Amino acid sequence: GGINPGLNLLCAVQALVSG
C-alpha cells in the first residue's frame, strides 16, 4: 500500500519504480 490502500494500481506502480 501507499498513500491510499484503495489505489492498488498506484501502489503496484510505486513498488515497481521503487525496485
* Spatial CB neighbours of 3, under 8 Å, sequence gap ≥ 6: 10
Burial class for 11, CB neighbours closer than 10 Å (0-12, 13-18, 19+):
middle
pTM over 0.75: no
Q: What pLDDT does residue 18 have?
A: 82
Q: What pLDDT does residue 2 have?
A: 59
Name which residue leads in pLDDT, 16 or 7. Answer: 16
pLDDT digits (tens, 9 = 90+) for 1-13: 556 666 678 878 8
Q: What pLDDT does residue 8 have?
A: 79
Burial class for 8, CB neighbours closer than 10 Å (0-12, 13-18, 19+):
exposed
Q: What pLDDT does residue 5 have?
A: 65
7: which 3 cell numbers? 489505489
